[in-house]
Amino acid sequence: MSLRKYCLLNTITLLFVAGIFFWSCRKERISPDWETNILAPFFSTRLNISNLAGDSIIQVNPDNSLKLVYSNTLYSFNPNEDAIAIPDTTVKTIYKISNLQLNDQVITYPFSLGRFCQQLGFAGSLIIGNNGNNMVINPLNDQQSGDELINATDFFQSANVIEGFIDITLLNGFPIDISNLVFQIRNQINNEVIAVETFTNLLSNTQQTKTINLAGKYVEGTLVGRIIDLDTPGSNGSNVLIDTSDAILVTLKAYDMVVDNALASFPAQNIIDEDQETQYQVSGGAKLKTIRVKSGTLQLKINSTVKEKTYFTYSMPSATGPNGELISLDESVPAYTGGLPSSVNRSIDLAGYTINMQGITGDTYNTFVNHLEVRIDSTGAPISISSDDSIYIDYGLIDIVPEYVSGYLGQQIVELGPDENTLALFQNIKDGILNIEDLDVNLEIVNRLGAEGRIKISKLESVRSTTNNAINLSSSELINTPILIQRATDNPLTPSVLSFNLNSTNSNIKNWLENVPDKIRYELNVFLNPFGNTASYGDFSYNDTRIDINMTAEMPLSLIASNLKFCDTIGFNLQSVNQLKQLKSGTFYLICDNKMPLKASVHLILLDEWNQPLLDLTNGSQFVAAGEPDVFCKVVEANRSIIELPVSEQQASLIQNARRAIITATFDTNQKPGCDGYLKIYDSNYLDCKLTGNFILKTKQE
């Protein structure tokens, strides 16, 4: 009887007997313990060439033999990270108040005939005494008036004038002509003279205007006006009507007043309106025209020492959003009251924005433009504002990851390595020697960067971690030879590709791969734009731009193996078999059907739930015969090996905690006469292993 039929018969018998006892126990309501036998499968696995090849692609040749095709990137260089990364840039800019304006203002003040005559002694008393009468006024010379206060404090209390003007207009309301009049304006407090102007031939009931340039002058809000010299021919012998309320009307018109500082009632105005350029320092002499931002923020902090509530608009006219939107931020800053400056903090997400890096004039590089407008509203109350008052802006482009950059990417050499990467070609092979009959390997250098480059590979080693054996690739075309790579083209992005075919004639690639590497070690350098700015600022790079070194290997699976070891991990949970409570003792049967042209030894270890070894079931490796080959050394029939693995009661208690099993197969070329050279592997080749068991169980019915 075959083992499979024996297993099935015993399983059915056990279930039948167990059913009888189960119902009997329920009827009599007792809970006996008993021992019985169970024969059950625990796992099965198939090891074939896919276990050997890892991530490779297995292709079937016309004769059903197999070919391994492996394609992977040995090294990938991202210039955005290593060569043209955008650094964090934080700038502290001081905007001084440069255009502080006052309202235009007009003040009119009369110098009456009566007040003027009070300074004339007897002649003045005579004129005042004839108020309402006609009389002849005699000529007068070298006469002065008293001081007359001119109050401008409703407009300003003091101001240092950068530029501005006052028009002085005198309207002669006296009944007599004035041949000469010298008029003076001075500050009341410091007595500084603001203006002295002379008016001649000012006829009765006519006016004249003089313009005073106030640039560079300090002007007080209370001014003193005075006539310091007046000459008149009188009434020329004619009687004139005396009215002491007649006056010389003085009109002061201040306009176009720009002040350095002032205590004044300021009108609503922009006190700052400026563009500011900020330049990036990009490595390698890069000169960028455009950055399209994938992610990053504009951090903005505004401090103010202006003693008035201010309103600011910050804009970045060089940045445009994906739908044409512009960056503009409107905020208010409280009035500065002493101590720390008033402050506002804001953050702007720049994702999706394109930043023009050519500055205000459009002929620079690495430069973006900020614009700031700061304004005050009129409150009517006098406040003190000075050009020394400032708006401080700390702004920074933080964590900028470019989606795209254009311009000139600079000229620099980037040293890469020594470093290492994993190689998954033979990732499941743990040990042994592999000889490959033939292979064809193609190495490609793929440039997706919109710039020329020159690569020099000084080391490309295959490394086998288990032995730390390293073999450096030798190829006169590829190693220690500067290799020029052309730039990619855009719209659509089309990389440039440079290929090298490696075989046993022009390199040691066969030995390199027969080392069964799981790592590669490399040293190389990349020289960006070795000939300079040949594209006239036409370089470009995307965020995921790479310069890749790719390997494609094709290997007909005709090989010689010696102690070639690989393994498979399988789920294993004894408690899930019929919900058994207690395994007492018994025997495992490891049944292996080998249809590989390689003899093997197998090793089986059980692991707990933390992947720690519990029990070595095979107590070392167990031999499995190779499949039976035909006259062409092609295996046509699997060879079965049944390995008995006794389990003691002590071992059985450990097996209850097993959750996984590792089966390791070690292959060697079958040394059968006529089949001791390179052996082809076919799609029909495999090693099947199945674990069954015949155990004594101790079961208690609850």
Query: What was the pLDDT predicted at 173?
Result: 94
Average pLDDT over residues 334-353: 87
Reply yes or no on whether the pLDDT at 16 is more than 50: no
Per-residue pLDDT of 118-145, as tens digits, reads 888 888 899 899 999 999 999 999 998 8
| Residues 119 and 239 reside in one and the same domain | yes
Task: Please identify, among 223, 248, 264, the residue that sits at the C-terminal boundary of a domain.
Answer: 264
Query: What was the pLDDT predicted at 375?
Result: 86
Judge contact between 470 and 524, C-beta under 8 A. no
Reply yes or no on whether the pLDDT at 293 is more than 50: yes
Reply yes or no on whether the pLDDT at 60 is more than 50: yes
Query: What was the pLDDT predicted at 277?
Result: 86
| Residues 344 and 399 reside in one and the same domain | yes
| Residues 539 and 592 reside in one and the same domain | no
| Residues 580 and 682 reside in one and the same domain | yes
Chain centroid to Cα 9, Å, comes to: 68
Q: Is 23 helix (H, G, I), strand (E, B) or coil?
A: helix
Q: Show the tokens assigned to 322.
A: 């994906």
Q: 197 vs 598, which has greater pLDDT?
A: 197
- b/e per residue 394-406 (b: at least 16 CB within 10 A): ebbbeebebbbbb
Q: Show the tokens assigned to 553.
A: 């290997």
Task: Say if 24 falls within a structural domain.
Answer: no
Q: Per mean pLDDT, which range of 18-22, 275-279, 690-694 is the poorest?
A: 18-22
Q: For residues 42 and 571, what is the distance between their CA atoms, to the nearest angstrom?
A: 9
Average pLDDT over residues 522-541: 93
Question: Binning pLDDT at 50, 70 and 90, where does residue 212 land?
Answer: very high
Reply yes or no on whether the pLDDT at 331 is more than 90: no
Average pLDDT over residues 230-258: 92
Average pLDDT over residues 175-202: 94
Q: CATH number of the domain that 207 lies in?
A: 2.60.120
Task: Say if 108 falls within a structural domain.
Answer: yes
Query: What was the pLDDT predicted at 67?
Result: 75
- b/e per residue 266-277 (b: at least 16 CB within 10 A): beebbbbebeee
Task: Please identify, among 408, 440, 469, the residue that sits at the C-terminal boundary of a domain.
Answer: 408
pTM above 0.85, yes or no: no
Per-residue pLDDT of 408-429, as tens digits, reads 999 988 888 899 888 877 766 7
Residues ≥6 apart with Cβ < 8 Å to 76: 546, 547, 548, 549
Per-residue pLDDT of 499-514, as tens digits, reads 999 988 899 998 998 8
- b/e per residue 157-166 (b: at least 16 CB within 10 A): bbbebbebbb
Question: Binning pLDDT at 50, 70 and 90, where does residue 406 land?
Answer: very high
Judge contact between 229 and 178, C-beta under 8 A. no
| Residues 326 and 357 reside in one and the same domain | yes
Reading phi first (left if > 0) and then psi (alpha if -120 to 50, else beta), residue 352 is in left
Average pLDDT over residues 456-466: 91
Q: CATH number of the domain that 601 lies in?
A: 2.60.290.20
Average pLDDT over residues 553-572: 77
Q: For residues 171 and 174, what is the distance between their CA atoms, to the nearest angstrom?
A: 9
Average pLDDT over residues 48-59: 62
Q: Per mean pLDDT, which range of 49-63, 335-349, 581-595 is the poorest?
A: 49-63
| Residues 139 and 260 reside in one and the same domain | yes
Residues ≥6 apart with Cβ < 8 Å to 550: 71, 72, 73, 74, 443, 444, 446
Average pLDDT over residues 525-550: 92
Reply yes or no on whether the pLDDT at 337 is more than 80: yes
Q: 48 vs 608, which has greater pLDDT?
A: 608
Average pLDDT over residues 592-618: 88
Task: Enumerate the H helices of 130-285 as residue ranges.
Answer: none
Task: Say if 11 falls within a structural domain.
Answer: no
Query: What was the pLDDT predicted at 617?
Result: 86
Task: Say if 609 falls within a structural domain.
Answer: yes
Average pLDDT over residues 353-369: 92
Reply yes or no on whether the pLDDT at 62 is more than 70: yes
Q: Per mean pLDDT, which range of 319-328, 386-395, 397-406 is the poorest?
A: 386-395
Reply yes or no on whether the pLDDT at 146 is more than 90: no
The percent of residues above 90 in pLDDT, for the chain, comes to 36
The percent of residues above 70 in pLDDT, for the chain, comes to 88
Reply yes or no on whether the pLDDT at 203 is more than 70: yes
Question: Binning pLDDT at 50, 70 and 90, where does residue 30 land?
Answer: very low
Query: What was the pLDDT predicted at 699?
Result: 57
Residues ≥6 apart with Cβ < 8 Å to 696: 35, 36, 37, 584, 585, 586
Reply yes or no on whether the pLDDT at 34 is more than 50: no
Judge contact between 360 and 411, C-beta under 8 A. no
Reply yes or no on whether the pLDDT at 8 is more than 50: no
Query: What was the pLDDT predicted at 485?
Result: 93
| Residues 482 and 616 reside in one and the same domain | no
Reply yes or no on whether the pLDDT at 241 is more than 90: yes
Average pLDDT of every residue of the chain: 83
| Residues 125 and 211 reside in one and the same domain | yes
Reply yes or no on whether the pLDDT at 31 is more than 60: no
Task: Say if 389 falls within a structural domain.
Answer: yes
Q: What's 459's DSSP letter? A: E
Task: Say if 534 falls within a structural domain.
Answer: yes
Reply yes or no on whether the pLDDT at 33 is more than 60: no
Query: What was the pLDDT predicted at 427?
Result: 67
| Residues 397 and 419 reside in one and the same domain | no
Reply yes or no on whether the pLDDT at 433 is more than 60: yes
Query: What was the pLDDT predicted at 183?
Result: 95
Task: Say if 633 falls within a structural domain.
Answer: yes
| Residues 593 and 548 reside in one and the same domain | no
- Provide the number of structural domains found in the chain: 4
Name residue 351's beta-bridge partners. Answer: none
Average pLDDT over residues 16-41: 42
Task: Say if 61 falls within a structural domain.
Answer: no
Residues ≥6 apart with Cβ < 8 Å to 385: 97, 100, 261, 262, 264, 266, 271, 306, 307, 308, 376
| Residues 532 and 574 reside in one and the same domain | no
Average pLDDT over residues 165-194: 94
Reply yes or no on whether the pLDDT at 37 is more than 80: no
Reply yes or no on whether the pLDDT at 100 is more than 90: no
| Residues 122 and 260 reside in one and the same domain | yes
Q: Per mean pLDDT, which range of 19-28, 258-267, 557-566 is the poorest?
A: 19-28
Reply yes or no on whether the pLDDT at 2 is more than 80: no
Task: Please identify, among 360, 388, 408, the residue that sits at the C-terminal boundary of a domain.
Answer: 408
Q: 670 vs 641, which has greater pLDDT?
A: 641
Domain around 289: 89-94+270-408
Query: What was the pLDDT predicted at 87?
Result: 78
Reply yes or no on whether the pLDDT at 23 is more than 50: no
Query: What was the pLDDT predicted at 534?
Result: 93
Reply yes or no on whether the pLDDT at 220 is more than 60: yes
